[in-house]
């Protein structure tokens, strides 16, 4: 899948592109069948909601689960981002966010690049998010909300919220959010929330300000998020565990388009368990660690 000039122009203007129903029901079924077993694991890479057993985020499934390892190499996601950056990509982060019925908590207003800059020392915003709906997304089950065009502001000052939810974020001040929404159109399009069937996909800029409300509905809203980064823009610090911010900067090699329906071989380096090294962190830049060694 390649982006058209019109799509590229819209992405520059609004900061996201929405592709309803891009993946078939059979393709999504393969992924959904793997999720319960992943969520049942008692591992560090499963972050649960505050005061609940419901999984908020499962990290790094592409390193130990075959269907998601194939998804991580899918050309429908990887090639459009390569078009935008004009460069090979590596996987900075891979997560399956489980906004479960009645239990899925909020994600505060934030920019993903703010976290990648502050925590991981990613040099620039040459990184992109890809979201794939594993469930139908409607106005009731906590859809992603975007402020169109907010990516054009670049990196916005943020504060580190360690208490609102079980997963810390660098969040944007509500007063600034109000200004960004008003500038984007206020009640007439200042906030958008793409909704559609399972199998829909969103590409969105790493500086696009976004959030989602809690899920008070009886319907799950599970989505996969891939954060793809230009290889030249790899992170410079390993402050976070490797299951959150990956340290393998090898360029992604795409599989054929039917890779979710056929058993193409993929590497699963963590299939036998997450290595202890994945939990080792350092506040120092990579260069300082290498020089000390």
Kindly tell me if the per-residue pLDDT of 144 is higher than 70.
Answer: yes
Choose among 165, 107, 112, 101: nearest CA to 138: 101
CB-CB contact of 81 with 8 (8 Å): no
Q: Which residues contact 261 (CB under 8 A, 6 or more apart)?
A: 26, 27, 30
Name the band, by pLDDT with cuts 50, 70 and 90, for residue 164: low
Kindly tell me if the per-residue pLDDT of 65 is higher than 70.
Answer: yes
* Length of the chain as a residue count: 293
Q: For position 247, which CATH number holds?
A: 2.60.120.620
pLDDT of residue 291: 43
State both tokens at 245: 């911010």
What's 256's DSSP letter?
P
pLDDT of residue 290: 53
Cα(146)–Cα(16) distance, integer angstroms:
9
Distances (CA, A) of 124 to 50, 154, 172, 257: 32, 10, 19, 30
The b/e string for 236-271 (b: 16+ C-beta within 10 A; e otherwise) is ebbbbbbbbbbeebeebebbeeebbeeeeebeeebe
State both tokens at 236: 């410079």
Rounded mean pLDDT, 79-93: 95
Rounded mean pLDDT, 149-172: 73
Mean pLDDT (the chain, rounded): 91
As for how many domains the chain has, the answer is 1
Choose among 118, 89, 121: nearest CA to 289: 121
Residue 156, Cβ neighbours under 10 Å: how many?
20
State both tokens at 147: 């402020």
pLDDT digits (tens, 9 = 90+) for 203-232: 999 999 999 999 999 999 999 999 999 999
pLDDT of residue 156: 82
Beta bridge mates, 159: 171
Choose among 23, 55, 52, 46: nearest CA to 134: 23
pLDDT of residue 161: 60
Higher-pLDDT residue of 103 and 276 is: 276
State both tokens at 81: 């981002």
Rounded mean pLDDT, 162-191: 82
Enclosing domain of residue 135: 5-292
Choose among 60, 40, 51: nearest CA to 270: 60
Rounded mean pLDDT, 149-176: 76
Q: Is 106 exposed, middle or buried (0-12, 13-18, 19+ CB in 10 A)?
A: middle
pLDDT of residue 162: 56
């Amino acid at each position: 899948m390649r982006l058209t000039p019109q799509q590229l122009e819209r992405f520059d203007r609004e900061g996201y592109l929405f592709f309803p129903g891009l993946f078939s029901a059979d393709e999504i079924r393969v992924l959904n069948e793997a999720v319960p077993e992943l969520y049942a694991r008692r591992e560090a890479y499963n972050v649960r909601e505050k005061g609940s057993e419901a999984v908020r985020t499962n990290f790094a499934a592409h390193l130990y689960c075959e269907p998601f390892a194939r998804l991580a190499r899918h050309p429908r996601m990887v090639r459009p981002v390569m078009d935008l950056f004009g460069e090979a990509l590596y996987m900075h982060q891979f997560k399956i966010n489980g906004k479960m019925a009645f239990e899925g908590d909020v994600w505060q207003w934030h920019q993903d690049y703010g976290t990648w800059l502050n925590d991981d020392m990613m040099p620039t915003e040459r990184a992109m998010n890809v979201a794939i709906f594993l469930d139908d997304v409607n106005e009731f089950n906590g859809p992603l909300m975007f402020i169109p065009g907010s990516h054009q502001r670049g990196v916005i000052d943020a504060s580190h919220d360690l208490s609102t939810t079980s997963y810390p974020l660098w969040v944007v001040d509500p007063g600034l959010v109000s200004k960004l929404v008003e500038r984007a159109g206020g009640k007439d399009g200042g906030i958008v929330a793409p909704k559609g069937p399972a199998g829909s996909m969103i590409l969105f800029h790493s500086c696009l300000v976004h959030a989602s409300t809690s899920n008070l509905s009886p319907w799950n809203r599970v989505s996969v998020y891939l954060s793809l980064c230009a290889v030249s823009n790899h992170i410079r610090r390993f402050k976070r565990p490797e299951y959150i911010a990956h340290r393998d900067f090898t360029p992604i090699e795409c599989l054929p388009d039917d890779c979710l329906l056929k058993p193409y071989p993929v590497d699963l380096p963590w299939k036998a368990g997450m290595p202890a090294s994945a939990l080792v962190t350092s506040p120092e830049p990579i260069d300082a660690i290498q020089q000390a060694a």
